[in-house]
Amino acid sequence: MATLPPAVGRLLDRVQARIPQRWLDRAHAAADRAREVTDHPWLERLAQVGLVAYGAVHLLIGWLAFTVAWRVSPDAADADQAGALRTVSESPGGLVLLWVIGLGLLSLALWQAGEVLRWWTGLLVPERRVHAAFICAKCLAKAVVYGALAGIALVFAVGSRYDATDSTQDLTDDLLEIPGGAVLLVAGGLVVVGVGAYLAWRGWTAGFMKDVDLDAAPDRYEPTIAALGRVGYLAKAVAFVVAGGLVVWAAVTRDVSTATGLDGALNAIGAVPTGQWLLTAVAVGFAAFGVYALARARYPDRDPAT
């Protein structure tokens, strides 16, 4: 198991030793009370609704990417999360569906954030500190992603509009106007590339299967779920790497038009030689991830450490 450098470990031990025990007791008590909420069966049911919504969004992104690759519809929405939710809003009963999707994803974010309450005490144990920190950071990152997607769904549900490409370009433009903004953009782009690399590793090693309760799922489904997850994670990895690379390029060239998020990344894939087929493969991958997410909703395993 990985450990912190000795100097860092000693510093953390000294900091921990200075914290009054009554404060730690209160923190434990508060975490226990909050955990009662995040462990409630009703929140778990709502989180499963969120997982279904998450899968449906990826299925829609896969379809939108396919329409970009084959030019099925010139008026199709952007091939990203906002485009998928905009498509839902324009369908019959779309506003009701958006409320269900938004509240389900919000519940999923809370349910995922609850993992931090399960793991934070590991930060107080030297031999478990690195592992606990990694789990807490990963759970918080997932909670932020689910929460952001819930926010976009609820924005559409109340009748407002949101364009991810415009927002990304506006943020890029604002950062380029401040001292050191280009450096921040490069760092942000590299972080996105790093997330893509992590997704590729997770897909290659099938680490995502830890999120599925394999004891509850029939054995005959396991190979199919694993195959869907591998294809899905690798496709998302490609999209993230390209999206991050476009942000870095925007910072280097000071051309905000290249910072276009997921939709721009998928269009960039489609623009290279044989891009139509590459983008089709990525579209299939996003759809496969959507089906994997549906399987995860049916057989969720909350514990990310098993």
Residue of 57, 243, 270, 65 whose CA lies nearest to 165: 243
Residue 208 inside a domain? The answer is yes
Let me know if residue 70 belongs to a domain.
yes
CA 83/CA 66 separation, integer angstroms = 13
Q: Is residue 15 part of a domain?
A: no
State mean pLDDT over 292-300: 92
Q: In this structure, what token pair is assigned to residue 21? A: 């025990």
Q: What is the dihedral of CA 99, 49, 77, 177, to 10 degrees?
A: 80
The three-class DSSP label of residue 71 is: coil
For residue 269, give the H/E element and its range: helix 261-271
- pLDDT value at 39 more than 60: yes
Q: Which of 29-33, 64-68, 232-236, 238-242 has the lowest mean pLDDT?
A: 29-33
**pLDDT value at residue 280:** 94
Specify the pLDDT at position 72: 72
The count of domains in the chain is 2
How many Å apart are CA 272 and CA 100, to the nearest integer?
38
Write the Ramachandran bin of 159: left for phi over 0, alpha for psi from -120 to 50, otherwise beta: left
Q: Is the pLDDT of residue 36 over 80?
A: no
Q: What's at 70, amino acid-wise?
A: W
Same domain as 168, residue 294: yes
Tell me what percent of the residues of the chain surpass a pLDDT of 70. Answer: 81
Mean pLDDT value across the chain: 83
- CB distance 276 to 303 below 8 Å: no
- Is the per-residue pLDDT at 8 higher than 90? no
My answer on whether 197 and 220 are in the same domain is yes
Range of the domain at 282: 164-298
109 and 71 within one domain: yes
